[in-house]
Chain A
Amino acid sequence: MLDCVVFLADCLVSVSQCIEVIIGGLDYNQNKVNQWTASIVEHSLTQLVKQGRPFKFIVNCAIMQKSGAGLHTANSCYWDTATDGSCTVRWENRTMYCVVSVFAVALTC
């Protein structure tokens, strides 16, 4: 599990870089947000795969326009805590919030 935790801590960095590259400095745009979520998950997944670790990945991304409304997120997982783990990255700019969750489930090999 330690291995997984350290690995996920490194993932945090690469995922936040992905988000920054794709939507950093942009304002919320209804027409583009579909494309943004798709690229964020795709690029994050590619970065994770590049690390070459034996995990299955689930990447979830939520982008919300800033309007004073509140948002709560929770996750609950039934797995082997010795080998599996998750991490969540929260990012915001002037006009939107972005929350990306990464779950890593170990492959038995």
Chain B
Amino acid sequence: MSDLAKEKAARLLKKRGSVSSLGSHDVRAKETGGKIKDSISTVSYIDEPGHHDDNPRPTVQMENTFQLAPHRRFPVLTVNDILKDVLDSYLQEEKYEAELCRQMTKTISEVIKARVKDLMVPRYKIIVLISIGQLSEQNMRIGSRCLWDSSNDTFSSHSFKNSSLFAVANVYAVYVE
């Protein structure tokens, strides 16, 4: 039953083209016995056949923290700089080529996620979304809307352009209480 649901979802999500998504997993649970689970990172791509989650882990029950707001807010300006830095260094000299940009989107999204994770902002989940396209006679509009807690959750965005391509990177940070 669970396999059927997974297959159905995987079929619906699978498409030709360059849409890929990486999943990364970090679970820490302090149970009363004092056991701590190690973190595991998994990567999967939509445009390559693969599995979603080989070992579905049971959801863990977390203790109350009695914390109403994050101790440290998400540093939007620092992340803006990270985005600018990554996009400039990876794409400054590149020309648009289908295969190169396909790999580049995956690499850049992973790099940005790793650098934002390095900031070690506790209790925040990170979503990185990157689009790279060819510059031509077309027009394009990208918009997004979020349903979240606007006092704690935030986003950061940057766009880059050179003579043959453009790139737009969005980072969303969601607080987990």
Check if A and B associate: yes
Interface size on B (CB < 8 Å)? 73
Instruction: Tell me the interface secondary structure of chain B in the complex.
Output: mixed
- Chain B residues in 8 Å Cβ range of A52: none
Q: Kindly identify which residue among A5, A36, A75 contacts B52, using a CB–CB cutoff of 8 Å.
A: A5
Q: Mark B20-63, 1 if CB is under 8 A from A, else 0.
A: 11111111000000000000001000100000110011110010
| A77-B127 in contact given A58-B172, A70-B133 (Cβ < 8 Å) | yes
**B108 CB-CB contact with A under 8 Å:** yes
Given A49-B147, A56-B149, A59-B146: A69 and B135 within 8 A (CB)?
A: yes
How many pairs of residues, A versus B, come closer than 8 Å at their CB atoms?
A: 217
Most buried by B among A5, A12, A57: A5
Q: Is A21 located at the chain interface by the 8 A CB criterion? A: no
Contact B125 A5 (CB under 8 A): no
List A85-99 residues whose CB lies under 8 Å from chain B: 86-88, 90, 99
Digit string of A11-41 for contact with B (CB within 8 Å is 1, else 0)? 0100000000000000010100110111011
Q: A45 CA to B19 CA in the complex, in Å?
A: 21
Instruction: Decide if A2 touches B6 in the complex (CB within 8 Å).
Output: yes
Give complex CA distance A92, B126 in Å: 29
Q: Within 8 Å of chain A (Cβ to Cβ): is B95?
A: no
Whether the pair B174, A56 counts as a contact (CB closer than 8 A) is: yes
Could you tell me if B140 and A76 are in contact, using CB atoms closer than 8 angstroms?
A: no
For B15, give its contact among A65, A74, A78, A90 (CB under 8 Å). A90
Could you tell me how many residues of chain A have their Cβ less than 8 Å away from some Cβ of chain B? 58
B79 is an interface residue with CB less than 8 A from chain A: no
The docked-state distance in angstroms from the alpha carbon of A58 to that of B150 is 12
Task: Name 9 extra pairs, CB < 8 A, besides A57-B148, A76-B24, A88-B19.
Answer: A41-B143, A56-B148, A60-B142, A64-B140, A75-B109, A76-B22, A76-B128, A78-B113, A80-B125
A-side residues, CB < 8 A to B, are: 1-2, 5-6, 8-9, 12, 28, 30, 33-34, 36-38, 40-42, 45, 48-49, 56-84, 86-88, 90, 99, 101, 103, 105, 108
* Shortest 8 CB-CB contacts between residues of A and residues of B: A37-B143, A74-B105, A76-B109, A69-B136, A67-B138, A41-B145, A69-B134, A60-B144
Which B residues are within 8 Å of any A CB, using their own CB?
A: 2, 5-6, 8-9, 12-13, 15, 17-27, 42, 46, 52-53, 56-59, 62, 96, 98, 101-102, 104-106, 108-110, 112-113, 116-117, 125-149, 153, 170, 172, 174, 176-177
Q: List 6 A-B contacts (CB under 8 A).
A: A9-B8, A71-B18, A71-B133, A76-B127, A81-B53, A88-B19
